[in-house]
């Protein structure tokens, strides 16, 4: 059948990957990080320099020109010893400039997404264990030579989190700056479970008549029964031998 063993080998690998994807890729959700506040009172970088002037100020005051702060959020697999470099295997999001030295967010605005919210979607079975790297950077105006993006602060957090509505608070504090944020994982609509890999879409048609509970379990609509809720419950007294129905409450 195969005149090329290498081609056959690649074909079977492709079939295997498609089979795995069918089982694993039926997952969908997002990691949500909500910034609460940033405090960088002296307007400094992590190395002690001022954001918008060269060197360190003797009196600790960097002047009126504030940092142009934006964020880089990297989500990756759980690491016992966290590596700052390398790919963000679960997702990466970089914001625009969203503040100066010190600022805070007070929830949502009408007609827009929540202020300070950073969302990283995923299309895989949520592993629960993770590593999160949150970095605040200064979008500099070029006074530092070739560097136009300089690190203000870095927060590293690792652990386990399950999907849900509750938000987990984090406060990172150092000599330079303090960053407060919350985080949570949520499954997309119709996805359930601790890994967002239990799919249940309510329907009322030829293929089934059911709703889904908050665990993603199917429950038949009144008048229907069976594994996929496709069997109509006939009128009471309808003969099990000679009677039948295609619509609940009927008897033919």
What residue ranges define each of the domains in the chain, with the CATH number in brackets? Answer: 29-192 (2.60.40.3510), 200-252 (2.10.25.140)
The helix/strand/coil state of 67 is: coil
Looking up tokens 């009172």, which residue turns up? 41
Helices (H), the chain: 5-24
Read out DSSP for 139-186? E--STTTT--EEEEEEEEEEEE--BSS--EEEEEE-SS-EEEEEEEEE
First to last CA, the chain: 54
Please state, in angstroms and rounded to a whole number, the distance separating the CA atoms of residues 208 and 129.
36
pLDDT given for residue 27 in this prediction: 63
Q: Which portions of the chain are predicted below pLDDT 70? A: 1-27, 53-60, 107-114, 141-149
Please state, in angstroms and rounded to a whole number, the distance separating the CA atoms of residues 118 and 38.
15
Indicate the Cα dihedral angle 124, 125, 128, 129, nearest 10°: -60
pLDDT given for residue 110 in this prediction: 42
pLDDT given for residue 202 in this prediction: 95
């Amino acid at each position: 059948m195969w005149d090329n063993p290498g081609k056959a080998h690649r074909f079977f690998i492709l079939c295997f990957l498609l089979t795995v994807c069918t089982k694993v890729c039926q997952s969908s959700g997002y990691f949500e990080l909500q910034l609460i506040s940033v405090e960088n009172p002296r307007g400094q970088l992590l190395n002690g320099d001022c954001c918008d002037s060269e060197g360190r100020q003797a009196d600790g005051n960097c002047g009126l020109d504030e940092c142009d702060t934006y964020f880089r959020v990297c989500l990756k697999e759980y690491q016992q010893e966290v590596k700052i470099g390398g790919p963000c295997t679960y997702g990466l999001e970089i914001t625009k400039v969203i503040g100066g030295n010190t600022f805070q967010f007070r929830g949502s605005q009408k007609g827009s997404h929540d202020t300070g919210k950073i969302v990283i979607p995923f299309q895989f079975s949520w592993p629960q264990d993770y590593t999160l790297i949150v970095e605040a950077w200064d979008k500099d105006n070029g006074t530092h030579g070739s560097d136009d993006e300089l690190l203000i602060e870095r927060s590293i957090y690792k652990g386990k989190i399950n999907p849900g509505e509750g938000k987990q608070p984090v406060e990172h504090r150092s000599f330079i700056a303090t960053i407060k944020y919350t985080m949570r994982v949520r499954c997309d609509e119709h996805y359930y479970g601790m890994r967002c890999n239990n799919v249940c879409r309510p329907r009322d048609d030829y293929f089934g008549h059911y709703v889904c509970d908050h665990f993603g379990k199917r429950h038949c609509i009144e008048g229907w029964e069976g594994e996929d809720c496709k069997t109509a419950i006939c009128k009471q007294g309808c003969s099990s031998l000679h009677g039948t129905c295609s619509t609940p409450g009927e008897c033919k």
